[in-house]
Structure 1
């Protein structure tokens, strides 16, 4: 034992490194390890003699090291059996990150010497300390003077997906703020976000993450961040000096501006990837418990080389502890869960009663946050839209595909379009869930931007260095006669109109809308529909030096978002209608809906069955009968005239796309468009 350090018994709670009155307490789960060692590093990054943990209880190793202070750099080494067939990969030569470390001294970069196992299946002989970040003892407290959390009415909630670097990299702000947490809350950033009338910022991943081996070999970077190595440490590349402090300042700034903030989290896999890649944390401590496996093989339900075993108490505790940290200490208001079906699996199959889901919903803190699920993974029965417990909102790709097809002009879409418009009640059933459980979206980070959705027929992903094989092959897109950028004014006008039709439909649909950050800027990724590795101008949003066409498109789209968000907040019926046949609302007075054809007459069975129909309208009347709303969707380009649905010609136009106008008690559609009126 290194006599330079005195050790006391310490405590098995809390996990991680905790500063005490006399030093630092360390507690780490490594249930199958024969011995766990604490490795301390001096200011020159020299490793001192390892200190063996002296206590183990319920799989947790713990001790208190007297005299240590905040800022101490450390790592872990685990001794145990090396039996890959049993998922035991203990290798003392591998330095390991504390899973509960709040800060790392460097960004993790893949190196072949991080592996615990050679290609031949033997124990890897090289010490990895030189290429593994050191954990740092850090006490992070919740600030007592934080701005209050925004109180968002569920019916007014609208998610805006924001990448910290992509949003702020080119903002007209001080250069040191560009691409950073603090850049997001610059005056220019906040002013833009507030102008949209949205309520909720959905931050793309901010856990410390690593670029995958294959990308590193291609000299590309992981840009999106869906490859975490820590569930607690903040990604350092978005910080100027101190990532923890600056992330908290960003959250405070967004709170002060009135926003709710949710964080996109990846609890389904880690950057350690396949068995023969990195052993830098979980794999070296408790591989058989942290990762799903069967018959000596990983169960790769994520497509990322491994998947976290969220049926195991060790992983459940880690994830819930992480979530509470990000809420209580870092200040976020909720989470969007990547590949959420993995979180709801038991041994193999998905169930809404899975222990992790139930643990989240029974937690008095976590259950009150905004929880959004991506309801699929690539494992067996991996598609579970509408099947999560009531406390979760769910991303609805059925909505995305139907709306894209309707506006592309596909035949026979009106009945399904109406279903999606009303909250996808075939998936989110009446009497069980509100339509608000459906997170409606047309574009997300993984796919075309809205500008590219109307500009490209085919993906253009050559910059990803995979010979254009990656990304979705079918995007339900259209280019209006030219692939990519064009100077043709007619095509430009059609593309802008289509973007407005998309955005208007999204914000007039029952449910919770999701807007991809940059769509309001008419941002193009040059046809790349999988820009996860494009840390450059392809993915960064552009703010200045715009051509006339782009400037006009931006103003028009932003005005559409702002106007329709204001309507949703003023008239909740536009987001959540309470109908007589829905048991969920039996305690309230009922709203009314009527579906109308192009003669403003009630839709007949024959009308619904007409595959050539490209028109649908509806009236919504709140229970108090204070007003009624007429909403029209027309996806063809042949001129069409529709009589008003009321004898009262005093209709107020609340929103209309460019080709629509009212004269002589008639709505005239020069071509496809959306109309909202109140009478």
Structure 2
């Protein structure tokens, strides 16, 4: 206290803020009896320990004169130690500031980070040597940031991208491979532009840690769904300066015409189970930051803990984090991992949960693109279609139905039609547009599109869990041989199936989502849970092939068509009150004779052919969509009142001969009828 002058300072903003005379620190810890600020030198030696001198509304604060930008620091909290009451205060544990914008290093799990021993007693070893230091950092928006790209909702198509996986094997400078800057390299931007997609969904870029069991197996958390900070940028994707380079990546993507959303994890943290790390939230206020009941953690995430997003401090933390990533780091929106936790109150889900309402009323956040993963593993954890308007939702019902249809499963005609039309059994008429349904065939957690048509069973031995992890039922097929093959017939069938999937996705009502690499025919060697594979299993290969060219051309062509005919993404239904102010479009479902579907047709369990016409309200366009999943030839007459037609897209097995559609084998066709 002789070295530094301390005064009360201010409770807001939270975190470390540079002032005219020093730095203001503000930290939430409702139950602590004393909070200490620990200052460190560049060699991570603790040089001073200052007690906070003011507390109001659960926020400890003070201003320290004589310190400046880039000062390293940590926190220590004193208070009751009673695990049965979820109180784990232990001043021997150095803690990261939840609002720190930068950390001195990546968090690595160590046994000495634990707040309690195996016996349940306080762990007395000082953890400062194995905990990253928070760094005082003033971060401002870039001065020449391009304006946000305004994406028309009916045009939106999302491309899920892992920073390292996308850029690690690009033909670029070695120093930029696997980095934020590598994503916006000339080859990276050129590839993304060629696809015609509108929105880049970045997989997690919060500072994250490896799980203890992965560390013990000498594996890494590759996906990044294990955050320790909601503000600090992951440094392993940076060449030099993670903050500046992340901002440059976002600016570069915007400049290239893309909307950028960030996959965020607000449902759990890397502190994991109660007896593991106490490096931040657990040591500051475990009873308030994590969900618990009857003295036990509630693990609704399957990741060891569950962030209590019903508590006011957590709501403020999440919203402050989101605003930081929008206003300062430049992103245009978010995809929320295990988003049901964000909609839980004490324990149950409610679309009126405080955090969801706080986001929707915020003028900055409400104007961003918000995509929800609408489930967790807690009670009533499946909530597809139940989030308030303002959130798009990942639709796994779409994924499973489309996979089953093209695999040839029986009894799917009505539900397949429902999925094509925007899953109105979940996204109900009068309440939400079909565009709220984020349709996808593949996501990061599962097979790639190539593997979906190449493997019957998962092949996850590389994860070192005896092939027990990952989904057991992938609704996949291998066309006669497991894994890679030189059989030209099998290769042709696999490529055609992928083209059918892509065409179905881009001709369905809703918002399409692509897994990055599917357009490159990327394979993970049958691994459907490659979260710990930081290697060529997950790194995209840029070796050109005929299959890649065909897949990329299909996406590019269909994206152009989809933008030219918005009715393909959102049809104005006559019986939907949501569109009562508009003239309705018209839909007609047709069988293989191009006659209206009868009740018998709809009930036919082995129906392999389904078609529909979409006619715009002003009669300017009449589109014919055909889906045929059998490999036996079928001839279909043109729909009535169609003297000619203009084929807009067709998979290889489809062709028009005079007044007949010839289906040689399974495929998709889109034509404009005249």
TM-score > 0.5, shorter chain as reference: yes
Say whether residues 1:653 and 2:652 are aligned partners: no
In 1: Cα distance, 2:616 partner to 2:367 partner: 29
The alpha carbon displacement at 1:159 in A equals 0.5
For residue 672 of structure 2, what is the aligned residue in structure 1? 678
In 2: Cα distance, 1:627 partner to 1:13 partner: 57
For residue 52 of structure 2, what is the aligned residue in structure 1? 53
In 1: Cα distance, 2:250 partner to 2:490 partner: 41
The alpha carbon displacement at 1:9 in A equals 1.4
Say whether residues 1:84 and 2:78 are aligned partners: no
In 1: Cα distance, 2:2 partner to 2:336 partner: 46
SS of equivalent to 2:513: strand
Say whether residues 1:307 and 2:292 are aligned partners: no
The alpha carbon displacement at 1:143 in A equals 2.2
For residue 563 of structure 1, what is the aligned residue in structure 2? 557
The alpha carbon displacement at 1:293 in A equals 0.5
For residue 539 of structure 2, what is the aligned residue in structure 1? 540
In 2: Cα distance, 1:647 partner to 1:46 partner: 82
For normalisation by structure 1, the TM-score amounts to: 0.99
For residue 597 of structure 2, what is the aligned residue in structure 1? 603
For residue 612 of structure 1, what is the aligned residue in structure 2? 606
Deviations 1:226-252 (A, max 9, x none): 000000000000001110000000000
For residue 365 of structure 1, what is the aligned residue in structure 2? 364
The alpha carbon displacement at 1:612 in A equals 1.4
The alpha carbon displacement at 1:145 in A equals 1.9
Tell me the C-alpha RMSD between the 2 structures: 0.6
Deviations 1:17-38 (A, max 9, x none): 0001110000000110010000
The alpha carbon displacement at 1:646 in A equals 3.5
In 2: Cα distance, 1:49 partner to 1:521 partner: 54
For residue 288 of structure 1, what is the aligned residue in structure 2? 287
The alpha carbon displacement at 1:116 in A equals 0.3
For residue 347 of structure 1, what is the aligned residue in structure 2? 346
For residue 496 of structure 1, what is the aligned residue in structure 2? 495
In 2: Cα distance, 1:590 partner to 1:86 partner: 59
Say whether residues 1:577 and 2:571 are aligned partners: yes
For residue 72 of structure 1, what is the aligned residue in structure 2? 71
In 1: Cα distance, 2:164 partner to 2:142 partner: 25
The alpha carbon displacement at 1:49 in A equals 2.6
For normalisation by structure 2, the TM-score amounts to: 0.99
Aligned structure 1 segments of 4 or more residues deviating by more than 3 angstroms: 646-649
The alpha carbon displacement at 1:142 in A equals 1.4
Match of 1:592 among 578, 586, 592: 586
For residue 476 of structure 2, what is the aligned residue in structure 1? 477
| Contact preservation (8 Å) 2:625, 2:671 | yes
In 2: Cα distance, 1:625 partner to 1:332 partner: 39
The alpha carbon displacement at 1:134 in A equals 0.3
| Contact preservation (8 Å) 2:339, 2:375 | yes
The alpha carbon displacement at 1:414 in A equals 1.1
Say whether residues 1:100 and 2:82 are aligned partners: no
Deviations 1:79-104 (A, max 9, x none): 11111111110000000000000000
SS of equivalent to 1:99: coil
Deviations 1:311-334 (A, max 9, x none): 100100000000000000000000
SS of equivalent to 1:394: strand
For residue 220 of structure 1, what is the aligned residue in structure 2? 219
Write the mapping of 1:25-64 to structure 2, written as runs, cut at 5 A: 25-64=24-63
In 1: Cα distance, 2:581 partner to 2:2 partner: 71
Deviations 1:401-438 (A, max 9, x none): 00000000111111110000000000000000000000
In 1: Cα distance, 2:495 partner to 2:411 partner: 25
In 2: Cα distance, 1:145 partner to 1:436 partner: 32
For residue 254 of structure 2, what is the aligned residue in structure 1? 255
Write the mapping of 1:107-118 to structure 2, written as runs, cut at 5 A: 107-118=106-117
For residue 132 of structure 2, what is the aligned residue in structure 1? 133
In 2: Cα distance, 1:407 partner to 1:43 partner: 59
The alpha carbon displacement at 1:555 in A equals 0.5
For residue 325 of structure 2, what is the aligned residue in structure 1? 326
The alpha carbon displacement at 1:664 in A equals 1.4
SS of equivalent to 2:503: helix
The alpha carbon displacement at 1:647 in A equals 4.1
In 1: Cα distance, 2:321 partner to 2:478 partner: 44
In 1: Cα distance, 2:464 partner to 2:319 partner: 37
For residue 297 of structure 1, what is the aligned residue in structure 2? 296
Unaligned runs of 5+ in 1: none
Write the mapping of 1:407-422 to structure 2, written as runs, cut at 5 A: 407-422=406-421
Query: 551-560 or 137-146: which moved more?
Result: 137-146
Match of 2:548 among 547, 554, 568: 554
In 1: Cα distance, 2:280 partner to 2:5 partner: 26
For residue 638 of structure 2, what is the aligned residue in structure 1? 644
SS of equivalent to 1:240: coil
SS of equivalent to 1:654: strand
Write the mapping of 1:164-179 to structure 2, written as runs, cut at 5 A: 164-179=163-178
Say whether residues 1:201 and 2:200 are aligned partners: yes
The alpha carbon displacement at 1:170 in A equals 0.2
SS of equivalent to 2:462: helix
The alpha carbon displacement at 1:125 in A equals 1.1
SS of equivalent to 1:48: strand
In 1: Cα distance, 2:94 partner to 2:642 partner: 76
Deviations 1:508-529 (A, max 9, x none): 0000000000000000000000
In 2: Cα distance, 1:220 partner to 1:648 partner: 60
For residue 456 of structure 1, what is the aligned residue in structure 2? 455
The alpha carbon displacement at 1:260 in A equals 0.2
In 2: Cα distance, 1:360 partner to 1:296 partner: 30
In 1: Cα distance, 2:632 partner to 2:43 partner: 74
The alpha carbon displacement at 1:650 in A equals 2.2
| Contact preservation (8 Å) 2:40, 2:48 | no
SS of equivalent to 1:202: strand
SS of equivalent to 1:496: helix
Unaligned runs of 5+ in 2: none
For residue 401 of structure 2, what is the aligned residue in structure 1? 402
| Contact preservation (8 Å) 2:158, 2:513 | yes
The alpha carbon displacement at 1:648 in A equals 3.4
Write the mapping of 1:407-446 to structure 2, written as runs, cut at 5 A: 407-446=406-445
In 2: Cα distance, 1:67 partner to 1:587 partner: 63
